[in-house]
Structure 1
């Protein structure tokens, strides 16, 4: 059977086939009408059903297609390179018999661009090997703002030095100023003396809590300061002759009030006991500081000036033993000098020495257990004068 008999020639069908080939090749002839849908192309063609019907008819008329298609391939080489991704689709649609029998290998397909992937994070740098403990000391973690300034207390603790750190000359100067205010207020009258006494009580209450490491302790400070104010009111109401009763009565009431408040606390037993002791001692110091209102005015003047001079002498850069002796001698001298100008007389020496000794005790307490700068500026200022208040009251009555 010949080819003509197996594939009968139909002129009408051949003419339709040529028109369809010309219609399919129009995008190649018209250069400005080339469109691309995206930057990446799908090399696996999925022809439409209509194209598959044409493809079957082309396979039946293969002897007539091959010469025509070879005549219609006059494309420049540069245009073929630009349209490489489209040629496999065109050849597959026109249906060569050889390509139907032998499809293109996967290596000849246009390589698909990989889908964009999320950038992989850079591997974290490996930590450096820690140095041996014997070679270098350990360091703390890195900070953004840098390490804070090392305080004198931290440096002394790190170096293993004594926990006693003296307040220095600035707190001593503030103590001297407050002592002079007490002396001037005592010379003027009781109500003038009330102002520096209230200031002394406030600084004492805050300084004692900070000295014990309890900060912020607003309720405890407020309670202790309120006890001092109540004692002042009781003294002014009862008079100097009933001073001890007013002070002791206020102290007893405040201890009981503090105990009741601590029992109502929800803290642990250890914390409640520690808070109870700190509050009671702070309130006691604030109430005892009211003794300046109960003492004789001349005794208050002598004692306050003696404390001011003794504390400044103690702050001088001298050995501890020498500075203590110098402070006591300075207090005695101030007592003699001020006592001669008041009605105390020669008994001012005893009053000055006693007030100076009590002030040095308070100064020592404010220097204990690596105190901070805040402790020095509160407890270091107020404790010398608060501790000297009962001594001034007792020795003032003895001398006067």
Structure 2
């Protein structure tokens, strides 16, 4: 743009109103000069902060309803739009394409990336957000922690640790102490053990919430307790196996009446039956000889604490069995079993370690550790305590 009057040339500006408003005779149209001090950059490649404040624009003397040919600006060369505006990206460049699997999204093509591709990573950082897979009609199944551990070469078994072991030891000592007091005193910690057993087994199998199954298993355990208290220890097998059979039949009927998927019904049936069986057989502490109950519960408490020590697995198992046998001898001497308590303690500890192992399987959660990890060692040891107590008593 020049500051001299326009006298014609090959770059004649286009005036859309030239046909509607012809010039008067003797009247010459001159472009409005924009001095550099008013904010216009005369180089044609930019603008200063004063742009848009030219004289006459928006003033009372300007007829905004029409068009004033005196203020017509004639441009020469390239305009601001062709120099300042960035190119508009295409739809392909602006479309959002989610990442598939763990692959990083491709970077959009830019001149900077073409000139120096090694200056900065083209893909977004891994912590920017989760990766998404391809869409499916059934949805993408979430990989479990156990499956991820196996794929990464890690063990899917996590042992409960010292805190659940301490709770198991506390509950075992309560069982051992109340057994020496009487049957009705033993019922209190036994009911807690049965409730935690039912809830822990369902959570260990990944079924949560499962209030109906937990309530059903716990109700079966309470029925066995009441039946045994009424019938007496001499009728312990019938008092335990009778409610167990009735509750398994009730569970089967309820699952058959369910409207869930057949596979889901079978899975729920097996979980409910197992939880009911574990909760009911814990009644064996109530039906066993009180001395055997004290020895077995104390041996389980010592064995679980020894198993939680930071030792290699084979060494901790041996230490746990030896410690349980020693605890059996000690408690047996106080209760009248004498050296026979070593056998009861070692056998109870062996069953407790099996329950401990089950509670550690398949990458369990913290809730599993504080339910199944606490209750399963004691519940698994109840049948052998009842059997050996009856045989040795």
Q: 1:136 to 1:110 in 2, by over 3 A?
A: closer
The 1:260/1:127 distance shift into structure 2, 3 A limit, reads closer
Matched, 1:142 2:142: no
Tell me the equivalent position of 2:299: 306
Find the counterpart in structure 2 of residue 41 from structure 1. Answer: none
Equivalent pair of 1:157/1:370 in contact (CA under 8 Å): no
Evaluate the alpha carbon distance shift between residue 84 and residue 387 of structure 1 in structure 2; reply closer, same or farther with a 3 A threshold. closer
CA contact (8 A) 1:355 1:392 kept: yes
Deviations 1:242-280 (A, max 9, x none): 010010000000000000000000011100000000000
* CA displacement, residues 269-294 of structure 1 (integer Å, 9 cap, x when unaligned): 10000000000000000000111110
**Correspondence 1:184 to 2:177:** yes
| Counterpart in the other structure of 2:24 | none
User: Compared with structure 1, are the counterparts of its residues 86 and 247 closer, same or farther at alpha carbon in structure 2 (3 Å cutoff)?
Assistant: closer
1:85 corresponds to: 63
CA distance in 2, matches of 1:380, 1:399: 29
Per the alignment, do residues 165 and 84 of structure 1 end up closer, same or farther by CA in structure 2, a change over 3 Å counting?
closer
Aligned residue for 2:370, secondary structure, equals helix
- Report the alpha carbon displacement of residue 154 of structure 1 after superposing the two structures with TM: 8.8
Change in Cα spacing, 1:341 to 1:277, as seen in structure 2 (3 Å) is: same
Q: Residues of 1 paired with 2:330 and 2:145: CA distance?
A: 38
Cα deviation 1:88-118 (Å, max 9, x = unaligned): 8xxxxxxxxxxxxxxxxx664999xxxxxxx
Q: Which residue is 1:197 aligned to?
A: 190
2:112 counterpart residue number: none
> Which residue of 1 is the match for residue 32 of structure 2?
none
Aligned-pair CA distance for 1:85: 2.5
Q: Tell me the alpha carbon deviations over residues 351-374 of structure 1, each in whole angstroms, 9 at most, x when there is no partner.
A: 011100010010011011111111
Which sits farther off after the overlay, 195-204 or 123-132?
Answer: 123-132
> Aligned equivalents of 1:313 and 1:86: distance in 2?
94
* 1:347 counterpart = 2:334: no
Alpha-carbon separation, structure 2, partners of 1:131 and 1:166: 36
Q: Secondary structure at the match of 2:336?
A: coil
Give the TM-score of the pair, scaled to structure 1.
0.66
Aligned equivalent of 1:94? none
Report which stretch shifted further, 156-165 or 335-344.
156-165
* Contact 1:153–1:165 (Cα < 8 Å) also in 2: no
**Aligned twin of 1:49:** none
The CA distance in 1 between the partners of 2:274 and 2:64, in whole Å, is 96
Q: Is the 8 A contact 1:358 1:384 kept in 2?
A: yes
What is the correspondence of 1:42-121 to structure 2 with a 5 Å cutoff? 82-85=60-63, 108=69
- Partners of 2:347 and 2:381 lie apart in 1 by 8
Query: How do residues 249-328 of structure 1 correspond to structure 2 at under 5 angstroms?
Result: 249-328=242-321
Q: Does 290-299 or 153-162 show the bigger shift? A: 153-162
1:392 paired with 2:385, answer yes
Other-structure match for 1:214: 207
Cα pair distance change 1:376/1:220, threshold 3 Å: same
CA-to-aligned-CA distance 1:190-220 (integer Å, 9 cap, x gap): 1100000000000000000000000010111
SS in 2 for 1:345: coil
Cα distance in 2 for partners of 1:166, 1:348 equals 28
Query: Any gaps of 5 or more consecutive residues in structure 2?
Result: 1-55, 73-87, 107-121, 131-143
Please tell me whether residue 173 in structure 1 is matched to residue 141 in structure 2. no
Deviation at 1:138, TM superposition (A): 9.1
Residue 17 of structure 2 is matched in structure 1 by none
Q: Which is richer in helix?
A: 1
Q: In structure 2, what is the equivalent of residue 238 of structure 1?
A: 231
Separation in 1 of the partners of 2:193 and 2:70?
95
Contact 1:153–1:372, Cα closer than 8 Å, also in 2: no
Q: 1:310 to 1:127 in 2, by over 3 A?
A: same
Q: 1:340 to 1:268 in 2, by over 3 A?
A: same
What displacement does 1:179 show? 0.2
2:146 matched to 1:159?
no
Task: Check the 8 A contact 1:85/1:110 in 2, yes or no.
Answer: no
* Offset, 1:301: 0.4
